[in-house]
Amino acid sequence: MADEPTLSNLSTETRSFPPSAEFAAQANATEEWYARAEADREAFWAEQAERLHWNQKWEKVLDWQPPFAKWFVGGKLNVAYNCVDRHVEAGYGDQVAFHWEGEPGDTRTITYADLKREVCKTANALASLGVKAGDRVAIQLPMIPEAVFSMLACARLGAMHSVVFGGFSASALKARIEDAECKLLITSDGQFRRGKPAPMKENADQAVEGTTIEHVLVVKRTEADVPWTEGRDIWWHDLVDKQSDEHTPEAFDSEHPLFILYTSGTTGKPKGILHTSGGYLTQAAYTHHVVFDHKPGESVYWCTADIGWVTGHSYIVYGPLANRATSVMYEGTPNTPHEGRHWEIVQKYGVTIYYTAPTLIRTFMKWGSDIPAKYDLSSLRVLGSVGEPINPEAWMWYREHVGRNNCPIVDTWWQTETGAIMISPLPGVTVAKPGSAMRPLPGISAEVVNDDGKPVGKGNGGYLVLDKPWPSMLRGIWGDEQRYRETYWSRFAEQGYYFAGDGAKYDEDGAIWLLGRVDDVMNVSGHRISTTEVESALVSHPAVAEAAVVGASDPTTGQGIVAFVILRGNVARDEASGTEMIKELRDHVAKEIGPIAKPRQIMVVEELPKTRSGKIMRRLLRDVAENREIGDVTTLADSTVMDLIAKGLKEGT
Ligand code: WT7
């Protein structure tokens, strides 16, 4: 675990960057917030919850029956009303909510008044299809405004959305629809990717076959010809456009479910992470306010994530809208039609806050610093990073070439499960170190502990845990309480800590450095992919007898997927090691899970290293994948296996 740091230069990083006096003087948060939150955590969170409109105030801030929390007990609110209507009622109907930029260059400007009309129409449309509070609605859409309308329409009706990333395959979508027993699927005819329309509806058709889906609501985006099932399929423009743009929101309990979002775990089956309303929205709004130093009506905010991931939920939709942000939403890829596309958009809209992922920063570095240099980026004030540890070189490049040495960088650690940012510098407050997420936000408590659950102390590494409940914490795994308890609460059951699955260390000043996952979960371009899931996909191919998958460090994507496969006896040896077969297996994984899970490399081997109890020793395979000296093999059932693998690979090349 933490003896395998992913940041090699951790202990040597000594640079630090204090905030400018100017920035500090106008920052939303101050150093005093930490002490205030520490002195009375519940009072602090009650104060943050006042950012929202409550139809009925809570009676109790927190009811903690480990591992189950209820926040703002007895309170009632409508999440969509908080994100939309109240801003219009307060006189900000003309403020832009989204500057939407399509990949082909088409644009839409959506004000808060527009957003209210669209969300009401969508809510009425969904209600006409029988969607009601407590139902589940699957959404697989590209980055178009209808994705936001759909999510907010669900929230308005008290129905849970389950957004599935557009790049996920039909079988991945089907598994998610089946697990949550969704009633409706909202999708589109297609999406624009890398300058070309790509199909989407065909995927949806395959996915809904034989499931609980009653209707498929289809947004027209690419004008592609699509297969159509009369009676089941409905065009968005046929149904939504004719609806009334008025809809009275109902107030729901603070703990009313808001959404399910699937994420990879250590087994093959994705976990449906459940989030609820009051606590989630409180922390999403609070963190968006303090971490990005967001000023409503002034800031122009851009989070480059996809709404298919939690970052898109909390920092494109819920947090920013609750705070009356003006956001940029971009449909496409960063190099379409050219590698300066992001900077062109920053310049065009005067973006002040830019939030992206280390993998993209490293890609920008590869494309060259002359590209951002061609644009006017002087509007930028705060830069954010999320998804994986950011290496100090990428941090410095970001600071210099995007931020012109003038913008605080916030490296934000959190997870699908935590719902919102947990560990991050505060701009204008924190003296930031390149590559460190620094310290838990005011109101949040974290620790780095050893195997026995004891704090490791300054200068040492261990496991990251969250030792106190927080408002936006997951409320469980959909339909699987046992797995919820086992995954997060069993590792440090005695202490009652939430086990995040990440390794971390404290430096000599007590700042936290994240070191990557300690379980069988890979992080590829900031996306969580389980080794088991990719192994299952490989084994489902008729030529594969057995497979082992590891994440090997990769200069651009953080980790790359490397697979070791044993082929079935009836597959001819020359065919086996042939590039054709490797290509077929890579494509097979893309088809089973999605292109993001395609292995970077597949090695055909005769044996896999296993312990006596039959557990695959991925550590040794990682050594091979990263071209390292093979580590300790004494616990292998057959210690000659690694020689065999090394020999086989040499012959194969
Ligand atoms: C895992 C959570 C949170 C939204 C995106 C990913 C890694 C995330 C950081 C960071 C180091 C990070 C962790 C975590 N991670 N942010 N700033 N520094 N690691 O959400 O898919 O739920 O993945 O991403 O390993 O456990 P997710």
Mutational pocket test of ligand 1: of 164, 514, 559, the residue with most ligand atoms within 8 Å of the beta carbon: 514
138: part of which helix (H) or strand (E)?
Answer: strand 136-139
pLDDT value at residue 576:
58
Q: Which residues pair with 547 in a beta bridge?
A: 565
Q: If you average pLDDT over each of 114-118, 516-520, 554-558, which comes out highest? A: 114-118
The protein residue with its alpha carbon nearest to ligand 1, atom 24, reads: 387
User: Could you read off the pLDDT of 254-297 as tens digits, one per residue?
Assistant: 999 999 999 987 777 899 999 999 999 999 999 999 999 999 99
121 is a domain residue: no
Taking the CA of residue 311 as reference, the ligand 1 atom at the shortest distance is 4
Which residues fall in the annotated binding site for ATP?
A: 387-389, 411-416, 502, 517, 528
Burial 281-316 (b: 16+ CB within 10 A, else e): bbbbbbbbbbbbbbbeeebbbbbbbbbbbbbbbbbb
CATH of residue 572's domain is: 3.30.300.30
Mean pLDDT of all residues in 525-540: 89
Pick the closest to residue 179 from 138, 209, 215, 151 (CA basis): 138
CA 298 to centroid of ligand 1, rounded, Å: 29
Residues 349 and 430 in one domain: yes
Strands in 446-449's sheet, in edge-to-edge order, are 446-449, 461-466, 498-506, 512-517
Kindly tell me if the per-residue pLDDT of 650 is higher than 80.
no
Alpha-carbon distance 484 to 487, whole Å? 5
Residues 506 and 567 in one domain: no
Beta strands in 154-232 (DSSP E): 160-163, 184-188, 190-193, 196-199, 215-219
Rounded mean pLDDT, 616-622: 87
Residues at the binding site for CoA are 193-196, 311, 335, 525
* Mean pLDDT of all residues belonging to the chain: 93
Cα 478 to ligand 1 centroid, rounded to whole Å: 21
3-state secondary structure of 252: strand
What would the mean pLDDT of 501-511 be, rounded to a whole number?
Answer: 95
Q: Does 400 reside within a domain?
A: yes
The predicted pLDDT at position 606 comes to 86
The answer to the question of residue 158 being in a domain is no
* Nearest ligand 1 atom to alpha carbon 424: 17
Task: Give residue-wise pLDDT tens across range 402-455.
Answer: 999 999 999 999 999 999 999 999 999 999 999 999 999 999 999 999 999 999
Best residue among 304, 421, 441, 502 to mutate for probing ligand 1's pocket (most ligand atoms within 8 Å of CB) is: 502
The pLDDT value given to residue 630: 81
Residues 619/608, Cβ–Cβ less than 8 Å: no
Q: Given a cut of 90, is residue 493 above it in pLDDT?
A: yes
C-alpha–C-alpha distance, residues 448 and 528, integer Å: 22
Mutate to test the pocket of ligand 1, among 274, 436, 523, 557 (most ligand atoms within 8 A of CB): 523
Q: What is the mean pLDDT of residues 227-233?
A: 98
* Ligand 1 atom nearest to 526, measured from its CA: 6
> How many angstroms separate the alpha carbon of residue 421 from the centre of ligand 1?
10
Burial class (CB in 10 A: 0-12, 13-18, 19+), 92: middle
pLDDT at 637 over 80: no
Q: Which residue in 345, 340, 361, 349 sits closest to 403, CA to CA?
A: 361
Residue identifier of the C-alpha nearest atom 14 of ligand 1: 415
Beta 409-412 vs 382-386: how paired, if at all? Answer: parallel
Alpha-carbon distance of 203 to 189, in angstroms, equals: 10
Query: What pLDDT does 575 receive?
Result: 62
Protein residue with least CA distance to atom 17, ligand 1: 413
Q: Which residues have any ligand 1 atom within 6 Å of their CB?
A: 263, 310-311, 386-389, 411-416, 437, 500-502, 514, 517, 523, 526, 528
Residues 505, 447 share a domain? yes
Q: What is the DSSP string of 38-78?
A: HH-HHHHHHHHHTTS--SB--SEEEEEETTEEEEEET-EE-
Mean pLDDT for the stretch of residues 122-130: 98
Name the helix (H) or strand (E) containing 589. helix 579-592
Query: Are both 557 and 502 inside the same structural domain?
Result: no
The band of 11, judged by pLDDT with boundaries at 50, 70 and 90, is: low
| CA 261 – CA 310 distance, rounded (Å) | 7
**Of the residues 413, 417, 433, 559, which should be mutated to test ligand 1's pocket, given the most ligand atoms within 8 Å of the CB?**
413
Atom of ligand 1 nearest to the CA of 416: 22
Ligand 1 centroid to residue 86 C-alpha, Å: 32
Determine whether 187 is exposed, middle or buried from the number of CB atoms within 10 Å of its CB (0-12, 13-18, 19+): buried
For residue 98, tell me if it sits in a domain: no
Q: For 563-588, write each residue's pLDDT tens digit.
A: 999 998 777 766 656 788 999 999 99
CA-nearest residue for atom 12, ligand 1, is 388
Q: How far is the CA of 420 from the centre of ligand 1 (A)?
A: 11
pLDDT of residue 516: 87
Whether residue 233 is contained in a domain is answered as no
Kindly tell me if the per-residue pLDDT of 537 is higher than 70.
yes
Distance in Å, CA 415 to ligand 1 centroid: 5
Confirm if 383 and 358 have CB atoms less than 8 A apart: no
C-alpha 311 to ligand 1 mean position (Å): 10
Strands across the sheet with 300-303, in order?
A: 107-111, 96-101, 326-330, 300-303, 353-356, 382-386, 409-412
Question: Do 511 and 532 fall within a single domain?
Answer: no
Please check whether residues 324 and 466 belong to one and the same domain. Answer: yes
Is 311 contained in some domain? yes
> Ligand 1, atom 20: nearest CA belongs to which residue?
415
- The mean pLDDT of 236-264, rounded to a whole number, is 97
Q: Are residues 544 and 463 in the same domain?
A: no
Question: Ligand 1: which of 259, 415, 553 to mutate, judged by most atoms within 8 Å of the beta carbon?
Answer: 415
Strands 512-517 and 382-386: unpaired
Q: Among residues 484, 519, 554, which one ends one of the domains?
A: 519
Considering only CA atoms, which residue is closest to atom 11 of ligand 1?
389
pLDDT (0 to 100) of residue 545: 86
534 and 416, same structural domain? no
Looking at the domain assignment, is residue 125 inside a domain?
no
Question: From the CA of 253, how far away is ligand 1's center (Å)?
Answer: 29
Positive or negative, the CA dihedral 610, 613, 615, 617 is negative
CA 146 to CA 110: how far, in whole Å? 11
User: Do 433 and 558 belong to one domain?
Assistant: no
Within 10 Å of residue 42's Cβ, how many Cβ atoms? 13
Counting residues of the chain whose pLDDT is more than 90, the rounded percentage is: 83
Question: Which atom of ligand 1 lies closest to the CA of 411?
Answer: 17
Residue 424 — φ and ψ, nearest 5°? Answer: -170, 150
Decide if pLDDT at 317 tops 60. Answer: yes
Residue 167 lies in a domain: no
Q: How many CB atoms lie within 10 A of CB 215?
A: 20
Extract the tokens encoding 53. Answer: 């409109």
Number of domains present in the structure of the chain: 2
Maximum distance among all Cα pairs of the chain, rounded to whole angstroms: 74
ipTM of the complex: 0.99
Q: Which residues are annotated as a binding site?
A: 193-196, 311, 335, 387-389, 411-416, 502, 517, 525, 528, 539, 541, 544
Name the residue of 264, 287, 414 whose CB sits within 8 Å of the most ligand 1 atoms, as the mutation to test its pocket.
Answer: 414
Protein residue with its CA nearest to atom 21 in ligand 1: 528
Which atom from ligand 1 is nearest to the alpha carbon of 417? 22
> pTM here?
0.91
Pairing between β-strand 300-303 and β-strand 257-263 as defined by DSSP bridges: unpaired
Atom from ligand 1 closest to the CA of residue 500: 26
Q: Whose CA is nearest to atom 13 of ligand 1?
A: 388
Task: Clarify whether residues 294 and 419 are in a common domain.
Answer: yes
Nearest CA, atom 16, ligand 1? 387
According to DSSP, residue 280 is labeled H
Strands 544-554, 558-567: pairing is antiparallel
Give the residue ranges of the annotated binding site for Mg(2+): 539, 541, 544
Tell me the residue ranges of DSSP E strands in 324-469: 326-330, 353-356, 382-386, 409-412, 446-449, 461-466
Confirm if 229 and 205 have CB atoms less than 8 A apart: yes
Ligand 1 centroid vs 514 CA: distance in angstroms?
Answer: 9
- What pLDDT was estimated at residue 2? 35
Q: 376: domain CATH number? A: 3.40.50.12780
Q: Are residues 511 and 546 in the same domain?
A: no
Whether residue 435 is found in the same domain as residue 537: no
Give residue 5's pLDDT band: very low, low, confident or very high (50, 70, 90). very low
pLDDT value of position 445: 98
Give the SS3 label for residue 206. Answer: helix
| Cα 53 to ligand 1 centre (Å) | 30
CA angle 451/453/457 to nearest 5° reads 95
User: Domain range for residue 550?
Assistant: 525-649
Compute, in angstroms, the gap from residue 408 CA to the centroid of ligand 1: 20
For residue 401, pLDDT over 70 is answered with yes
CA-CA distances (angstroms) from residue 308 to 30, 172, 311, 503?
A: 33, 13, 8, 26
